[in-house]
Chain A
Amino acid sequence: MSVSLPWHEAQSQVLLTRLRENRFPHALLLTGRPGLGKHVFSGKLAEVLLCLERHADGSACGKCRGCQLYRARTHPDLHEVNVLEDKKFIGVDQIRAISDYLSLKSQFGGYKIVIISPADKMNINAANSLLKTLEEPPMWSLLILVTAHPASLPPTIRSRCQQLSFVTPPKEVARAWLKEQGRNGDDLDLALGLSGGAPLAALAVATGDWLERRQQIFEGFEKVLLNKADPITTAAEWLKFDARATIYWLYSWITDMIRLRTGNDSERIINGDIGSRLQQLSGVLTPQSWFKCLDEASDAWRYAESQVNTPLLFENLLVAWANRK
């Protein structure tokens, strides 16, 4: 299989060997933090398996009918399941459609591929109705489950899949790839740091107005902690930002401040660009209090995934932090 992204080499080799030895699994669970290109990998894998004239090195030919339809995203033997636009979860009807789809033979006589991404967005009913299919799929079926949070999948699902994990590539590889995408300059390291080393996420950080938004949120955060702004007003201002991204930033600043405050591994600071301001701010609370804040932020992260009242969530955090001394 040709490598889709430079840091997928190992994973590609594993699957390619299994394909050659006719030991290909019926269900794969692709795991790893967001921004590592798991979804790109699943698509590439589908393309290779659906190619009718695969090259000897395992790459897709790009010319046959299979490749043509794959590229038009109309291949009849590929079925993708995502969260529908107006929904928060993958529902049971979408999973039942998979069973119906797999019960019929394939169009081209090869693999029937189903990609579920993100798999952790299946609600409990959906996950349960997938079990039967996952346990005994018809011949020539391949289910690819993509998730950044494998722990939130039921263990019954995890145990029925072969897990393939993706890890953060070395910094040089990531930097080289980002340069290939036309990104230059000093902000590459910062972008990589902010996205935990995940290149695709770093690219999004570097291209979007993330940094600007982060700056705005940070100023609010700083003022609230220094009692220069009203927590309720600040919470209301934050509503225009994505709740999960906001909480992620909060989490990363608090982690950095704990590192700065305790003096341990200060070289692992994520938000290097605002290091001095963080250093100053870290003096506001004791390390114990910062750890408490960290717990609250991580709880908030979990809540933000569910049906939560976002204004209340922000107010709750900020009021607690402003009053903690």
Chain B
Amino acid sequence: MKFTINREALLKPLQAVAGVVERRQTLPILSNVLISVKGKTLSMTATDLEVEMVTHSMLNADETGDITLPARKFLDICRALPDQAKIELIAEQERAVVRSGKSRFVLATLPVKDFPNLGAIKGAYEFNVPQKALKRVIERTQFAMAQQDVRYYLNGLMLELGKNRIRVVATDGHRLALCDLEADLTGADQQQVIIPRKGVVELARLLDDVETPVAVSLGSNHIRFTTDTLSFTSKLVDGRFPDYQHVVPQGGSNIVIAERDPLKQALVRASILSNEKYRSISFQMSKGSVRILARNPEQEEAEEEVAVDYKGKGLDIGFNASYMLDALSAVTTEQVRLSMTDANSCCLVEGVGDTSCKYVVMPMRL
């Protein structure tokens, strides 16, 4: 393999794949990046066995071939070279030579066939969704994923393919976030998969705010997202997601309609004096207003009153302020609807006029 490339053309994809390489590796080869030149395409692959990233770019190579070399060192070298530098990479038996101007570096390589890259996903179902829309639904649900829960199937985002809609659900057992996304899913079976937390976070970072579609291929063990420049694959969680539909309440009798921002700000202020560990606050609903009360073990108190549209009966209900704030922040409309039944049942938070996303927050007994 032999090619010459502009520093800038190499740096961007290299940075993208190097992000996947973990600093502490059990297998030495995982700290390497697989560089391969086929025809006029240069592709770079890195993996940590949980997620894999491959970038593709155009190139006029002198010689095709494959090589693996230390990702971090190669990236540091390229980054430290001057702007617009021409970088030449030559593979020699067990070494890789990097040349640029008067600089020369020799890097150690490891055999290409030992690199555990994934290749094509067998029997995958494929569909397209706009990048921007996918990014939105992930951003609006990922906060509700559990973190290092022993119920490992909660440490991720559930993706459900239904009739021309993709549903994304995340829950940690205390709150739940659900978003729907319209998509053309002809020929898809109804199915649920769980993308692990790490893959979700990485994916949200990768997707851009553009309308161009991202191609999704869903196999039995992996999910892959492909754009024109890169493809990102994550393993799936080996487990079943709990039946979330039982948790989402079907319209409560006590409905609050409030302006989102004033309610949120009042909640932020009140939560300053809530119990630091449990973050408990109480909502006291009466006709036309909500009083938000917080009290901590030092006997400090906060009280906020927000004018809302409420016609139900008097209700006193406790919440974890952080969960409620997360839900309110994820709502995009100006008005928000909180539907409750009583102080022991969960609260459904929705944007007024936006039915695509739903948030469920469990109450706290105070």
Contact = CB atoms under 8 A, between A and B. Distances in A.
Interface of A: 68-69, 72-76, 99-100, 102-107, 109, 132, 138-140
A222 to B, nearest CB: 47
Contacts of B237: 103-105
Interface string B232-246: 000111110000000
B221 interface: yes
Contacts of B236: 104-105
B224 interface: no
Interface in B203-258: 220-222, 235-239
A107 B116 contact: yes
A139 B220 CA distance: 13
Nearest to B28: A74
Interface stretch (B4-12, B107-115, B157-165, B292-300): B107-115
A105 B221 contact: yes
B118 A107 contact: yes
Contact of A69 (B30, B116, B196, B235): B116
Interface string B143-155: 0000000101101
Interface in B167-218: 196
Contact of A74 (B115, B118, B122): B115
B235 A68 contact: no
10 cross-chain pairs, A with B, having the tightest CB-CB distances, nearest first: A72-B114, A103-B152, A105-B221, A138-B238, A104-B235, A76-B49, A105-B238, A76-B116, A105-B236, A74-B116
Nearest to A100: B152
A74 B150 contact: no
17 contacts: A69-B116, A72-B111, A72-B113, A72-B114, A102-B238, A103-B153, A103-B237, A104-B50, A104-B196, A104-B235, A104-B236, A105-B221, A105-B237, A106-B238, A107-B221, A107-B235, A109-B221
A47 to B, nearest CB: 15
B27 interface: yes
Contacts of A69: 114, 116
Contact of A103 (B29, B118, B122, B238): B238
A194 B28 CA distance: 38
Interface of B: 27, 29-30, 49-50, 111, 113-116, 118, 122, 150, 152-153, 155, 196, 220-222, 235-239
A74 B29 CA distance: 7
Contacts of B150: 132
B220 A104 contact: no
Contacts of A103: 152-153, 155, 196, 237-239
A104 B50 CA distance: 8
A73 B116 CA distance: 10
A100 B237 CA distance: 10
A73 B29 CA distance: 10
A175 B114 CA distance: 36
B222 A105 contact: yes
A100 B29 CA distance: 21
Contacts of A140: 238
Contact of A109 (B49, B114, B220, B239): B220
Contacts of A107: 49, 116, 118, 221, 235
Nearest to B222: A105
A106 B221 contact: yes
Contacts of B153: 103
A109 B120 CA distance: 13
A316 B27 CA distance: 44
Nearest to B221: A105
B238 A104 contact: yes
A104 B52 CA distance: 14
A296 B118 CA distance: 56
B239 A74 contact: no
B220 A73 contact: no
Contacts of A105: 220-222, 235-238
A128 to B, nearest CB: 13
Nearest to B30: A74
Contacts of A106: 221, 238
A205 to B, nearest CB: 32
A94 to B, nearest CB: 10
A107 B152 CA distance: 18
A317 B361 CA distance: 67
Given A104-B235, A138-B238, A99 B152 contact: yes
Given A105-B221, A105-B237, A106-B221, A75 B50 contact: no
B220 A74 contact: no
Contacts of B49: 76, 107
A74 B49 CA distance: 10
Contacts of A68: 113-114
Given A69-B114, A74-B30, A105-B235, 10 more contacts: A68-B114, A72-B111, A99-B152, A103-B152, A103-B153, A103-B239, A105-B222, A107-B221, A138-B238, A140-B238
Nearest to A79: B26
A61 to B, nearest CB: 15
Contacts of A102: 238
Contacts of A109: 122, 220-221
B337 to A, nearest CB: 36
A135 to B, nearest CB: 13
A159 to B, nearest CB: 22
Q: Which of B27, B114, B116, B153 lies at the interface centre, i.e. has the most chain A CB atoms within 10 A of its CB? A: B116
Contacts of A104: 50, 196, 235-238
Nearest to A109: B221
Nearest to B220: A109
Contacts of A74: 27, 29-30, 114-116
Given A104-B196, A106-B221, A109-B220, A75 B116 contact: yes
A74 B221 CA distance: 19
Contacts of A75: 116
